Structure 1
Amino acid sequence: MAITDTRPGAIVLLTDIDASRSDEPDHLFHHDGRPFTTAEYELLSTCTPTEIDIAVAHMQPVGDWMSERQTVQKALIGLYMKYAYQMPDAFPDSVYDLMTEEDYSEFERLADIVSADDAFEEHTGHEQD
């Protein structure tokens, strides 16, 4: 697929995956908490490595720095999509089953970091209110 054939909708969808959700590991959610639709799963299953690379690169904020949280989120999405684009079906409900033990352990470690960071931000946000 040539770079001119990239689909902006696919790239935007990739950047909206909330990879920190561990309460329902067989389902994907948007950052705002909405579950992915069947159509969105179908779109994800057709994402190309180029689209994935663009989405992951897009997570880099303007400037030369990236927060630890952004770095972890970028790694989570990259690791998830390493397997998701290989899914044979339109609904990637077993993407974690495709992961090697090493990648799955790393994915869990990164998800725990993001979850702990979310809990910390929520706690400190309540203190400021």
Structure 2
Amino acid sequence: MPQTHIRPDVVALLADVDWHGRRDEPPHRRDGRPFTLAEQRLLSTITPEEGAAARQQIRRENEWLDEVDAMRDDFVALVRKYLARLPKNAVVADAIQIMTDEDYAEYERLVPIVTAQDTLEYRATHGNSTEHLTGPTED
């Protein structure tokens, strides 16, 4: 069975399309920026395999977002547990000071994850080991 060639740049573009936009407008990115004419032309050349790869990437990103949302909930619950023990005007720094070593370690683990703005920032914080986000790579 011949191997198909999947162009990562096409997959990345396709995964960034705002599918909720109006059909009578040129495609644009999820952040609202329009694709350039060259990018629009490139999008028109996608293969079925690239479309499938983009759908997989979107699914993985959604799973990652769900995972981060759950970690944010855990983070808030952890901090609230300690804020509840403090006076009304207490701040997170006050809560950190009374955390157990175990809870502080969990706080330290969660902070960079729940405060990351996007996947790239998460990757920068946690290194390049992102197989759980993007799946295994083939050479």
TM-score of Structure 1 vs Structure 2, range by shorter chain: 0.3 to 0.5
Query: Relative contact order (C-alpha < 8 Å, sep 6+): which is higher?
Result: 1
TM-score (norm 1): 0.43
TM-score (norm 2): 0.40
